[in-house]
Structure 1
């Protein structure tokens, strides 16, 4: 019996044990999301420094996420074979090196090379994180584990613009990115100190069991529906992170410093929404309805930003409301994948599904970056609302496909 089945079947696990693993995985996830958002808040400065367009800057994000996608799909197999701990340490080290590399870059192409290196580091986190959570956290606390995981990711996204913009204004963008690299190495040091808590043996085949191909999970339709869901989710996320604050600034005349706050407020409020979402996710049967409601409210906020005219403080409120609604959907979003994951294939399934996240974040900057370069600021926000609407339909499609598969697999009386 593996650790996952033990947790689901057996004796109660002490809160301290669960909290320890949730906390360590959480700070690693924070570092991953923090590293994803180091360059986007600095686009106004980098645009002038390297004499490039928004589309070219968006290409840096595309490079990052294309590489991350490839690594993520492959790293799931490595995690299932070797265990998650060494893969996690390698990923953090690469993110730290890449951030320091950004800080000393003297050309656009140096930034592009370090974006690729950061993509390699970023690609390991979802297969690692969900393998650790699913196999080491007791079943009654799994919804809360997903909530904390999402919260720390949102806090990482919130910390990045707050930190790098503040340090850029006070010193320079190079100092800001150097400090960001140092912070990633601090997180790595903490995890090394508590490395015993992250120990998890690779899954060994049970004697006498039928050995299935490691690619069998790819035949499950719900896995591909989850992939599609995360593709659309990534487009929403990319627009919010890279372009929506600047689009709102242009439409509503918001000062530059306040526009930078939009993303931080969105992410902080998203973290708050995930606290509530963790309790709502305690009943997996309603996860699709929670996802639909959350992103429905978020879409309304995006439409208001696109179609109205507001003072700066109201723009911040709308970003906060959009973030809170999206955050409520977060833990239930992760349960969509959990409910579609075969036993002992966490690394592979999460690697494949979250590859959709990277592909969406690779595609989105190219499309919306061009819209920004052509001054289509209202169109960017309308596009954001449209993608949030597609997300709702996609979540219910996951449920439909999963239920159809269950009916087809049921024995005939």
Structure 2
């Protein structure tokens, strides 16, 4: 999942062998955890028609259920970011993995909408530290100008898992039912939690040379002296923070439209069987995985060209990615041919995940290192609002219009607006007071 040749590009030439091994181990564990994380999220989308039929849910109620995870996930972001910055990602992610695994198993045992909503809320709380904690891991282990690529490799799990999930989860569901599908995904989370706690260590606890730690933080600038909620209030003074908050809304909105409604869209609008919808869904989602990795490669190459600072190499792919994703998403629902629609959706998810990877990397290069997780949390609150509204609004629009066209057009328009926000509001770095 994380190619050694690609990851080597992010390694400074003078890093010790011990540091190189620990960096690769950290990124590998993050990718594995991120894949299990997204398998858990995707299970509801894959089981959408079967769950809706068994529990007797309307499209609007299904939209509410699909969005419940994102609401709790979003509300927990800032507290999770504060906890990651205060206690470190090892403890925060370990506890989160255990909680989300219990919640996923509970989802396979429910018998009512209320019970299912409770399980999805718990899943959101457990998964809330995952990506902000993972970005902090990359900031802890990689120098400023080399962070975009490992963050992109890690973030690619958010696209790799949705690409793998439809065919794998669909086969599990067809063979054993949607409930067993949920339980197996939950058990996988406990395995990842054990691996994380056994093998991951922060640089200061990993026995690497002090010179490597100095090199990692050489270009970070001053750390901020205050942590906790004071840190949150300090970050909110900067327009850049608000630009990231508002802009990431569009990145996650368009991604979650695909993540939650793509199998249902193919079944309802394109008249595919459950099995075929699972297979077709894997193509755009696989393109999203390629886009997630490509975002880091693009940012890294822009940095090597020179003339653009580290923040600029992340901002530009976010802006272009959102514009391309918006165009492709709108076009996809107007074409009659299934192959063309899949190709356009693939382009849309590729571009959206380029924007996502570089959006995550932006916080790691634009703020003091001990504020990265909290800034990521603030940004991801905006993203989570987008993620919670995308399935809910799309379900409501489908319920009232009988068509997916309004939902996809709205997602494209939101992507354009958020590209403009990134362009106008994220041009200045966030620096500690002197």
Same fold, judged at TM 0.5 (above): yes
User: For 1:352, which of 372, 378, 381 is the aligned residue?
Assistant: 378
Q: Which residue is equivalent to 1:393?
A: 420
Would the aligned equivalents of 2:333 and 2:341 in 1 still touch at CA under 8 Å? Answer: no
Q: Deviations over 1:252-274 (max 9, x none)?
A: 43444333334322221111123
Q: Deviations over 1:176-208 (max 9, x none)?
A: 11111122122122223313468769xxxxxxx
C-alpha distance in 1 between matches for 2:78 and 2:85: 12
Q: Which residue is equivalent to 1:278?
A: 296
Against the structure 1 CA distance between its residues 134 and 117, is the aligned structure 2 distance closer, same or farther, given a 3 Å change threshold?
same
Q: Which residue is equivalent to 1:382?
A: 409
C-alpha distance in 2 between matches for 1:307 and 1:49: 32
Q: Deviations over 1:281-336 (max 9, x none)?
A: 1223343332233233222322221222113x333333222222323333322233
Q: Which residue is equivalent to 1:133?
A: 138
Would the aligned equivalents of 2:245 and 2:380 in 1 still touch at CA under 8 Å? Answer: yes
Q: Secondary structure at the match of 2:236?
A: helix
Gaps of 5+ in 1: 1-6, 202-208
Q: Secondary structure at the match of 1:370?
A: helix
TM-score normalized with structure 1 length: 0.86
C-alpha distance in 1 between matches for 2:336 and 2:13: 57
Q: Secondary structure at the match of 2:257?
A: helix
Would the aligned equivalents of 1:223 and 1:337 in 2 still touch at CA under 8 Å? Answer: no
1:180 aligns with 2:185: yes
Against the structure 1 CA distance between its residues 388 and 13, is the aligned structure 2 distance closer, same or farther, given a 3 Å change threshold?
farther
Matches within 5 A, 1:13-412: 13-14=16-17, 15-196=20-201, 211-212=225-226, 213-214=230-231, 215-282=233-300, 283=303, 284=310, 285-311=312-338, 313-374=339-400, 375-400=402-427, 402=428
C-alpha distance in 1 between matches for 2:369 and 2:195: 31
Q: Which residue is equivalent to 1:204?
A: none
C-alpha distance in 1 between matches for 2:275 and 2:413: 28
C-alpha distance in 1 between matches for 2:409 and 2:247: 19
Q: Which residue is equivalent to 1:3?
A: none
C-alpha distance in 1 between matches for 2:349 and 2:12: 36
Q: CA deviation at 1:390?
A: 2.1
Which 10-residue stretch deviates more, 365-374 or 46-55?
Answer: 365-374
TM-score normalized with structure 2 length: 0.82
Q: Secondary structure at the match of 2:78?
A: helix
Q: Secondary structure at the match of 2:245?
A: helix
What root-mean-square deviation, in Å, do the aligned CA atoms of Structure 1 and Structure 2 show? 2.8
C-alpha distance in 1 between matches for 2:162 and 2:245: 22
Q: Secondary structure at the match of 2:426?
A: helix
Gaps of 5+ in 2: 1-9, 207-222, 304-309
Q: CA deviation at 1:113?
A: 1.2
Would the aligned equivalents of 2:89 and 2:133 in 1 still touch at CA under 8 Å? Answer: yes
Q: Deviations over 1:116-151 (max 9, x none)?
A: 111110111133111111012234531210121121
